Amino acid sequence: MPGVWRHRPIIIGSIVILSLVSLDAGYAAWARGIVRAAPKIAPSKCERSKFKVILDVGHTAEAPGARSARNIPEFDFNLRLAKRIEDRLKSEGFAETSLLVTEGPARPSLFKRAAVINDSKADLVLSIHHDSVPDSFLEEWEFEGAQSHFSDQFSGYSLFVSHDNPKFRTSLRFARLLGKQMKAQGLRYARQYAQPLMGRYRRKLLDKRVGVYRYDQLIVLAQTRVPAVLFEAGSIINRDEEMAMESTERQDMTGAAVVGAVKEFCASR
Ligand SMILES: [Zn+2]
């Protein structure tokens, strides 16, 4: 707990001042002010230029994940949002931010990305995805002449952490910060993962205020040894939310939330 030790000399010094001027209420109040102010003036350990963030782009061009209500592959959404977040983080001084884009079939790509992440010694990994629903929830519609699928039943972002990751606690801390920032942007998290109707997709809700779920088996979380969070930025099978995810406004809100959370996470280390 280096932070505690850093504050200790200031607190001891203030106690001495307090006992010497105990008859002078004005000085005592001033000294108490120093005790209260101490954490604010302590220098942050966050060096943005050295803080290494990996933005893992979910899925690959060859195995693109979910298909949106308007037949756009999830990978396209993931790549676009990840690039936008990368730009914002870099412009805020997080120069060591990088995109992790993997190629090839789905399952080998997951182990490949875990290996790259472990070699990187990153401070934080955020895996970026867009959500869909189990096949049994899908309804049919026609979009631009093509038979397509949708489900307007659910919407919202969600965050997942794995207990099998050795940095589970730290991962959970970042996930909570990101959830808090998303909430502050006025966005709602996807409630359905905690409900019995999700069957084998049901997850334990770890933070019901901001939408953090436990999902132990996810390879990119479970096989990595650095703080890692999987982020479903929103549902692209929901027809309204897909349109929102296409908008620069929503992408900017999400980008601002990620940047805010990374700043807080870095500063609180
Ligand atoms: Zn995905």
Could you tell me the pLDDT band of residue 19, with boundaries at 50, 70 and 90?
very low
Global pTM value: 0.84
Digit-coded pLDDT (tens) for 134-156: 999 999 999 999 999 999 999 99
Q: What percent of the chain has a predicted confidence (pLDDT) above 90?
A: 83
Which pLDDT tens digit goes with each residue over 214-255?
999 999 999 999 999 999 999 999 999 999 999 999 999 999
Q: How close is the Cα of 232 to the center of ligand 1, in Å?
A: 7
- Using alpha carbons, list the distances in angstroms from residue 43 to 255, 267, 269: 26, 9, 12
Q: How far is the CA of 102 from the centre of ligand 1 (A)?
A: 13
Residue 165 CA, ligand 1 centroid: distance in Å: 19
Q: Are 224 and 100 in contact (CB under 8 A)?
A: no
pLDDT over threshold 70, residue 35: no
Tell me what pLDDT residue 20 has: 34
pLDDT of residue 27: 42
β pairing state of 212-214 and 158-161: parallel
The C-alpha atoms of residue 4 and residue 22 are separated, in whole angstroms, by 26
Going from the Cα of 6 to the center of ligand 1, the distance in angstroms, rounded, reads 42
Calculate how far, in angstroms, residue 141's C-alpha sits from the geometric centre of ligand 1: 22
CATH of the domain spanning 48-267: 3.40.630.40
Please report which confidence band the pLDDT of residue 269 belongs to, taking 50, 70 and 90 as the band edges. confident
Rg (CA), the chain: 22
154 Cα–ligand 1 center, Å: 16
d(CA 142, CA 138): 13
- Report CA(42)–ligand 1 centroid distance (Å): 40
58 CA from centroid of ligand 1 (Å): 5
What number is the average pLDDT over the span 126-132?
98
- Ligand 1 centroid to Cα of residue 215, in Å, is 14
Distance (angstroms) between ligand 1 centre and the Cα of 25 equals: 61
pLDDT for res 41: 56
Residues 6+ apart with CB under 8 A from 26: none
pLDDT tens figures, 54-113: 999 999 999 999 999 999 999 999 999 999 999 999 999 999 999 999 999 999 999 999
Tell how far the Cα of 75 is from the centroid of ligand 1, in angstroms.
Answer: 8
